[in-house]
């Protein structure tokens, strides 16, 4: 029986996703739970498993194509015993008295995945109504009692497709080139065929440099297909000219979120230059402790802890504006967002209940969060529910900025680079470690007095880390 797997909603009510990379091709055997495709939603790259055992009949979406939730993306030929078991079901309808006893057996033997479980392979699940159907009526108005037990199969069995088999066409490569999904996307955008490139990476994998060299020297063979709307770049692009980059996935979501935030919440940004010499000294001592032996501890750890203490002292800074209810929602917990410059665009994963974590656990969570985000492995759950954010612009060699609020939050703290700076200490000029803090906040909720108090507290704790203990 030919079954179609439809693109599920992987969480947050997302309506579409881009196909990043297929892990299977037509003719290959697949197992229940095997990863078959990587998709990029508006927030993250997610791996989708197959819900059945069977053989791939055809791929219904190309790499790079944008697909709406609920649209079939792959057809799988499942085992014959499954279809044979259901074949007699329609014949049970005439005998109304005996139908309940006979129709119960197939319903009890239907595997969980055929009751709609494949729709919750990732994300937060589906509504129970999605798998509940009323009994259909025949032309004469009589209900078909045999269809009631098998109703969960309706959304996932497009019977008409069984008469439309299509062999793998010439667009399916005989051997899949070894390359990471971001490299595949780059090659797709530049119109480079990976099958024609010799990889210089580990195990012969194709790297971004390989793709760029092919585009620059015109040695790469241009892809014959661009049916999903991805751009094809001529050799002239590398030498000079224009390049059009599709706005998709994470970048599309980021752009919409930034525009919405900038034109919804009235932003105010305040700046404070801070002497962090004592914090840097404390950082060196913390790195020597056995609890932090396996961790890469950075100044961001102290900035995060200082912000968490400041939130506890000024809870209104950790809130959101509910326009529909005309209420300010103050959150007495902190899901600490960390802005990460991933290859696919800016994302803000967050550490859940960061305010409850001891310092070693906070350091471990910060490291794991940034590594996962930069690798493009942050999940929709990682990106949901943030309450306040830190953006570390110092890693780019920048002193300060005016960060835009993460939608749904009231404040964001930018942490600038730490550098040697002339500083007056006890009336004498000295060279100290200093940085600039920038706090943007929603002026509908936070006035200048509160914003200044929060920024001043954070600065005071970084000037003297003992205050973190005293105030925390």
Q: Is 200 helix (H, G, I), strand (E, B) or coil?
A: coil
Residue 196 has a CB neighbour count (10 Å cut-off) of: 13
* Residue tagged active-site, from 23, 212, 314, 443: 443
Spatial separation of the C-alpha atoms in residues 349 and 305, rounded to whole Å: 17
Q: Is 253 a catalytic residue?
A: no
Q: How many angstroms from the chain centroid is the CA of residue 140?
A: 50
Q: Are 405 and 337 in contact (CB under 8 A)?
A: no
Spatial separation of the C-alpha atoms in residues 272 and 457, rounded to whole Å: 11
Q: Is 110 helix (H, G, I), strand (E, B) or coil?
A: coil
Tell which residue, 396, 392, 387, has the closest CA to residue 367: 392
Ramachandran bin of 114, using left for φ above 0, alpha for ψ from -120 to 50, beta for the remaining angles = alpha
| β-sheet bridge partners, residue 46 | 39
Question: 338-341: which pairs have CB atoms within 8 A and are 24 or more residues apart?
Answer: 338/300, 338/304, 338/366, 338/369, 338/370, 338/373, 338/389, 338/390, 338/391, 338/392, 339/389, 339/390, 339/391, 339/392, 339/403, 339/412, 340/369, 340/370, 340/373, 340/374, 340/378, 341/374
Q: What angle do CA 49, 55, 61 make, to 5 degrees?
A: 60
Spatial separation of the C-alpha atoms in residues 213 and 128, rounded to whole Å: 51
Contacts of 355 (CB under 8 A, 6+ apart): 308, 311, 312, 333, 334, 336
Residue 281 has a CB neighbour count (10 Å cut-off) of: 12
Q: Is 45 helix (H, G, I), strand (E, B) or coil?
A: strand
Contacts of 202 (CB under 8 A, 6+ apart): none
Spatial separation of the C-alpha atoms in residues 366 and 204, rounded to whole Å: 33
Just list the catalytic residues.
Answer: 443
């Amino acid at each position: 029986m030919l079954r179609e797997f439809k693109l599920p909603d992987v969480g947050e009510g997302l309506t579409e996703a881009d196909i990043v990379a297929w892990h299977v091709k037509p003719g290959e055997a697949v197992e229940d739970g095997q990863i078959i495709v990587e998709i990029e939603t508006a927030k993250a790259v997610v791996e989708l498993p197959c819900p059945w055992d069977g053989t791939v009949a055809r791929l219904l979406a190309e790499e790079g194509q944008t697909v709406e939730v609920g649209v079939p993306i792959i057809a799988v030929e499942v085992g014959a015993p499954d279809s044979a078991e259901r074949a007699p079901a329609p014949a049970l309808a005439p005998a109304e008295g005996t139908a309940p006893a006979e129709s119960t057996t197939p319903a009890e033997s239907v595997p969980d995945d055929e009751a709609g479980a494949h729709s919750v392979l990732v994300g937060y699940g589906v509504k129970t109504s999605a798998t509940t159907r009323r009994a259909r009526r025949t032309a004469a108005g009589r209900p078909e009692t045999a269809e009631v037990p098998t109703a969960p199969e309706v959304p996932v069995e497009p019977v008409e497709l069984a008469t439309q088999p299509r062999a793998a066409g010439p667009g399916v490569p005989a051997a899949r080139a070894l390359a990471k999904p971001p490299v595949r996307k780059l090659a797709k955008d530049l119109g480079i065929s990976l099958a024609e490139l010799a990889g210089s990476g580990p195990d012969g994998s194709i790297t971004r440099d390989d793709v760029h060299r092919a585009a620059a020297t015109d040695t790469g063979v241009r892809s014959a297909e661009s049916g999903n709307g991805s751009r094809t770049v001529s050799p002239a692009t590398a030498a000079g000219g224009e390049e059009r980059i599709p706005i998709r996935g994470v970048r599309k979501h980021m752009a919409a979120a930034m525009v919405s935030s900038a034109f919804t919440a009235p932003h105010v940004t305040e700046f404070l230059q801070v002497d962090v010499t004592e914090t840097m000294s404390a950082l060196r001592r913390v790195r020597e402790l056995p609890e932090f032996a396996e961790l890469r501890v950075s100044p961001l750890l102290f900035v995060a802890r200082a912000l968490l203490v400041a939130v506890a002292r000024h809870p209104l800074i950790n809130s959101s504006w509910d326009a529909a209810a005309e209420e300010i929602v103050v959150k007495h917990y902190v899901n600490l967002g960390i802005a990460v410059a991933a290859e696919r665009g800016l994302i803000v994963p967050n550490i859940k209940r960061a305010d409850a974590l001891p310092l070693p656990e906070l350091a471990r969570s910060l490291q794991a969060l940034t590594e996962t985000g930069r690798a493009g492995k942050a999940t929709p759950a990682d990106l949901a529910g943030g309450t306040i954010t830190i953006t570390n612009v110092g890693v780019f060699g920048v002193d300060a900025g005016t960060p835009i609020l993460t939608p749904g939050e009231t404040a964001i703290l930018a942490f600038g680079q730490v550098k040697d700076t002339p500083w007056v200490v006890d009336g004498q000029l000295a060279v100290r470690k200093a940085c600039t803090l920038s706090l943007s906040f929603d002026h509908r909720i936070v006035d200048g007095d509160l914003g200044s108090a929060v920024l001043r507290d954070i600065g005071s704790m970084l000037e003297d880390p003992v205050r973190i203990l005293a105030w925390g």
